[in-house]
Structure 1
Amino acid sequence: MIARFQSIYDIANLCAKKGLTQAVLCPGSRCAPLTLAFTRHPNIQCRTISDERSAAFIALGISQQLKQPAILLCTSGTAACNFSPAVAEAYFSKRPLVVFTADRPTEWIGQQDGQTIFQTDVFGKHVKKSYQLPQEYEHQDNVWAITRMVNEAINFSRQEPQGPVHINVPFREPLYPAANEQVFFSDAIRVMEDNASPGTLDDSQKKLISDAWFQFHNVLLVAGQLDFDEPITHSLNRFFSIHNVPIVGDIISNLHPIEKTVRHADLFLGQCPEEILKTLKPDLLITFGDSTISKNLKLFLRKYKPAEHWHIQHAGFVADTFQSITKIIRTSPVHFFDFLSSIPQQNNFETQKQNNYNKLWEVEERRACRVLNEYFPCDDLGELELVKEIIGNVPPGSNLHVANSMSVRYANFIGLTSHQHTIKVFANRGTSGIDGCTSTSIGHSLTSNIPNVLVTGDLAFFYDRNAFWHNYALPHFRALVLNNHGGIIFKMIDGPGDVPEAKEYFITDQRLNAKNLCNEFGIEYLKVDNRRKLKNVVRDFFEFDGKPKLLELESDLMMNKKIFDNLKQKIRKSYEL
């Protein structure tokens, strides 16, 4: 007997044939035909997560880790709405997800039938494309349409820029197989391949770039968020050795393997005098990658605009973050910088100007590093110093995850060195929300056998506590929770910290600590409250003995603000010497 849902069951087989092997499934009945298809397919690893919001961020983490689209599935109704934060993050951070939402038949929408909402296009502009499958599955034209649309959706999620796609699937009851009905997968399933363009430079682009290149002698490279990528690292190392162009990169740019990367621009650009800022102004700015953390870098480049600004991006919409783009060059960073490296350096006065410009950035970077190293230890053990200690001890080959708000900024102030070249950095900076930072790191931990180390604040951590509400082991997971009992960033930025409503409505004072949560979810709890314990606690934290661990620092918000303000003051004073 051929199954009534055969074309739906074959969706799982099509996903597997196209390399989608990881599925995050949320419990529900309306989605039963797809749930059975995915769970019974031998080449798809399925996990069930009860909280849809957490499930979606876990799928996002899986996509980040494996660099492949992850499958995400929920039942009908508001379950789909809970996917929205992670779908938006995936869209803006260019991560591929294939999101399936089960639905009621069309005629029952708006008729007070249970778990029924308007699901068509429920994610709006935050998906690359939405698809509505036919609600009758047996006619051959519908079988063809289902196969075609799922092929297209998966291909589209992978096309540059990558991102999430949505497939809404209406189901009629009965939803479960009959007693004599077998769930099997058709052998002859059509796979539609879509081969991406390599993004190489053509001859006309090369001539345009080479003709313009030697017109500039204060050239600056700024890298936004990038995945860890050895070809990019190799290409930029070679480019720097030939052309001596300063490379500015936040911690999320993953350029720490390059020894000459300017890692601490956020520290010194906000503190150095106007006359130095003027000397750092580029006449050609070259950017690549996505968002930058540093507000000081953004303000600097918006004020001291270059004569030309080239942005390197293979495909997709380009954001004009620094308000200065003059050329968009449609290629990959590797192809672009490899081509520039093929242009021989000219040994003349103009070349010396570029060398001098690079030295100006090197001087400021060394100044920031020197002040940072001399500043610690402080009188009190605060959050910034603990982040420095943890980042300095992250095991080689680990993933370092930084949650949003102050956690990612602390990590950026500290930075990674070129000696830590095997560490990969991840952060949800597409939308920069705190809502799924822990769940995303859990997605990585579920699909890798390497240490996954999360640095997070208390609000982000407790907001996403359902990241641990599942039955899967996390032996390599480590979390540092910086618990100042509120949102410290609202004390750090101008405005909210000075109004009388700050404590209750902005900082959001809270009294929790993580000990009970650790007991509830079987996580080993470690606490540090003074410097005497620090070395031993950090050693225990990074001992991998088969169970997840959490290290918590409970500290005073105002003390941490004072430590941070004093560091900025030290940098300012360094210019007076």
Structure 2
Amino acid sequence: MEESNVRPADDSCRHSGITPSWFIVDQNPNEPNALKPAESAHQALSFLAALVARGVKEFVVSPGSRSTPLVLALQHFSEVRARVVLDERSAVFFALGIADRSHCPVALICTSGTAAANYYPGVIEASERGIPLLLLTADRPPELRDCGAGQTIDQIGIYGKFVRWSIDAEVPRGDDGCRELERIAEAGLSEALGQNPGPVHFNLPFREPFLPAVPNGSFEKGELNEPAGPDPEVSADWESLRNAGPGWIIVGSANPPNPKRWADGLFRLSDYLGWPILADVLNPLRQMPGAGERVVTQYEGLLSAGWLDRHSDFAPQAILQVGIQPTAKSLRQWLARFEGPRWQWSRLPGGLDPARKPFTWIGGTPEGLGDLPDVFPEEAFRGAWLEAEAKTVAVVSDWLDSMPENFEGKIHHEIAVSAPRKSQVLIANSMPVRDAERFWFANRPRGPRIFSNRGASGIEGLVSMAAGMADGGDTTFAVLGDLAFLHDVGGLKAASQIEGSLTFVVIDNGGGRIFGQLPIRSEEQVFDEFFLTPQAVDLAKVCEAHGIPVQTLSGSGGFQDLLSKPFRGVRGVIVQTDPAVDDERRSEWRKLFREIES
């Protein structure tokens, strides 16, 4: 028996240096007719054992021949959860949903050839957002490459700079080879969960034969380890920010592992500085107790209406940006013109400002904020902003009450007030995320968790991602435009098989309405065909073809009840809108901000 250097992980998906022992037991010598397991079977089991021992418990598998050893090895681990997703493109976004929800690494397994290439869009999104995915791509051995062998491409380095770490493993032989695979597994997982987390790529060649497999019951595992320590405390000269103010704390999309601690750090800093927090809907702040005393949500409408031009005393003298910038274009444009001092608070020092203005970097995250001096801040600046916020929310709320339920903006407001407290909402890019930012107020403490793919800001893979979030997770609502829904229609196969509660809220508005907000709208000869791209697809029949029941709403009421009542399974809710009327309503919304003062 030989001890390995495997380190299993605790329930928080992090690992320490404790070493258990595990080993493969030789077959019973009293069974002379038993076939010796194939070397590929031993290799795959060694590799997966190292991952599972370090806390990897979620696997998403797409079927194929070359990955047979990995699939057979999975059967030795009753503690893991393996999901089969036919299409690799759908599989990677399904895994992304699991990892985003759980903050734990998820492993994907696929065969050789173009299967690995289908992971690419999801790998990019995971890379941009720092989500740990483990890409286990099976491959032919070297002697079958570059010689016309079937289903064989050059998979080495296929994901380029979008993975944190990549290796083309050698075809191992004997015990030494198995120990090398354990070392590779440890090294890759450490990179995936490191200071700059993200996807890693294991290209794993296997030689035939793949059978016989290692017999069940011939594998023993070690014990779990101690939990990892807390995040390091953030070190910064907060007094310099206080002296540079008054200012804004602006917070974009974020999905912290501990939302309460994360929000508490930002709320305490807001209290110390006396600065309001301009918070995107795509982070936990609007749903946290205490948001009403610190958080501003109506900045887009106020800035677009020239509020700072008429009220210069509302203009900040300094900016603290936490993570990426919020979605609102008017805020980003104003920040691009701002010439005062800036601080950026993020894990890594790379700039997160498209205008490339100079900044002072603060490393770490709000969870690590320590004690702050016990002082009384100047409340006038933050108080003025919160008073403007309260007046604006009251006016916009009254206006929304007069709108029908199939107004796109009201859809998000209804979800904000009706989705169960312990639920998840995935918001698509383009128009949905912008309407959510406008109409999701900070007046409901302990609301649902919000998710969105703001890494590369695309619309691909959202059906599959929602399925991954809902599978074994909390009640999930996915708010998608019709094009985003159709873009990942293949994901409905995976969605139809989940264990959980998933509602697709599909806004049927006749195409890519985001382009109607851009100058290209005036080019009528090309706009509809090349940009708006309306689709003549019966969305209800698409769902029904996958066994997913559908309900269609057109503004007659009942949306809040539908959202708030318990539901198990998968369903589609298609909201039919009138795009021309909704454009007029958005114009009315903008006018409201010019009338606030009167």
AA at the equivalent of 1:219:
G
Displacement of 1:225 after TM fit?
A: 1.5
Equivalent residues of 1:475, 1:544 under 8 A apart? no
Aligned partner of 2:360 in structure 1 is: 327
Which runs of 5 or more structure 1 residues have no equivalent in the other structure? none
Equivalent residues of 2:393, 2:441 under 8 A apart? no
* Match status 1:246 vs 2:276: yes
* Match status 1:216 vs 2:244: yes
Counterpart Cα distance in 2 of 1:542 and 1:197? 36
Counterpart Cα distance in 2 of 1:109 and 1:63? 33
> Given the superposition, is the C-alpha separation of residues 150 and 475 from structure 1 closer, same or farther in structure 2, using an over 3 Å criterion?
closer
Aligned partner of 2:202 in structure 1 is: 167
AA at the equivalent of 2:67:
C
Equivalent residues of 1:153, 1:165 under 8 A apart? yes
AA at the equivalent of 2:557:
L
Counterpart Cα distance in 1 of 2:410 and 2:246? 35
AA at the equivalent of 2:253:
Q
- CA offset digits 1:255-312 (Å, max 9, x no partner): 1112221112222212224524743332221121235211211111111232x21112
* Match status 1:138 vs 2:168: no
Aligned partner of 1:411 in structure 2 is: 436
> Given the superposition, is the C-alpha separation of residues 495 and 383 from structure 1 closer, same or farther in structure 2, using an over 3 Å criterion?
same
Equivalent residues of 1:291, 1:429 under 8 A apart? no
Equivalent residues of 1:278, 1:304 under 8 A apart? no
* Match status 1:534 vs 2:557: yes
* Match status 1:386 vs 2:414: no
Further displaced range: 377-386 or 131-140? 377-386
Counterpart Cα distance in 2 of 1:214 and 1:486? 47
* Match status 1:19 vs 2:55: yes
Displacement of 1:410 after TM fit?
A: 1.2
Counterpart Cα distance in 2 of 1:291 and 1:175? 50
* Match status 1:234 vs 2:269: no
Q: Secondary structure of the equivalent of 1:522? A: coil
> Given the superposition, is the C-alpha separation of residues 11 and 564 from structure 1 closer, same or farther in structure 2, using an over 3 Å criterion?
same
> Given the superposition, is the C-alpha separation of residues 553 and 332 from structure 1 closer, same or farther in structure 2, using an over 3 Å criterion?
closer
Q: Secondary structure of the equivalent of 2:422? A: coil
Q: % of aligned pairs identical?
A: 24
Counterpart Cα distance in 2 of 1:196 and 1:430? 28
AA at the equivalent of 1:478:
T
Counterpart Cα distance in 1 of 2:274 and 2:127? 35
Equivalent residues of 1:120, 1:168 under 8 A apart? yes
TM-score (norm 1): 0.90
Counterpart Cα distance in 1 of 2:280 and 2:542? 32
> Given the superposition, is the C-alpha separation of residues 467 and 379 from structure 1 closer, same or farther in structure 2, using an over 3 Å criterion?
closer
Counterpart Cα distance in 2 of 1:264 and 1:293? 13
Aligned partner of 2:583 in structure 1 is: 561
Q: Secondary structure of the equivalent of 2:70? A: helix
Q: Secondary structure of the equivalent of 1:166? A: strand
Equivalent residues of 2:37, 2:212 under 8 A apart? no
- CA offset digits 1:323-374 (Å, max 9, x no partner): 33421122322334x34xx22325xxxx54xx22213422432343133112
Displacement of 1:564 after TM fit?
A: 1.3
- CA offset digits 1:195-253 (Å, max 9, x no partner): 6883324xxx55x444x244223121111211251002222333334432111110002
Aligned partner of 2:468 in structure 1 is: 443
* Aligned residue pairs, count: 554
Q: Secondary structure of the equivalent of 2:344? A: strand
Displacement of 1:148 after TM fit?
A: 1.0
> Aligned runs of 1:143-542 on 2, under 5 Å?
143-177=178-212, 182=215, 186-187=219-220, 198-201=231-234, 205-206=235-236, 208-210=237-239, 212-227=240-255, 229-256=259-286, 257=288, 258-259=291-292, 260-273=294-307, 275-276=309-310, 278-306=312-340, 308-315=341-348, 317-336=350-369, 338-339=370-371, 342-345=372-375, 351-352=377-378, 355-376=379-400, 377-378=402-403, 381-448=406-473, 450-470=474-494, 472-496=497-521, 498-530=523-555, 533-535=556-558, 537-542=559-564
Displacement of 1:545 after TM fit?
A: 4.0
Which runs of 5 or more structure 2 residues have no equivalent in the other structure? 1-35
Tell me how large the CA RMSD over aligned residues is.
2.5
Which structure dedicates a bigger proportion of its chain to helix? 1
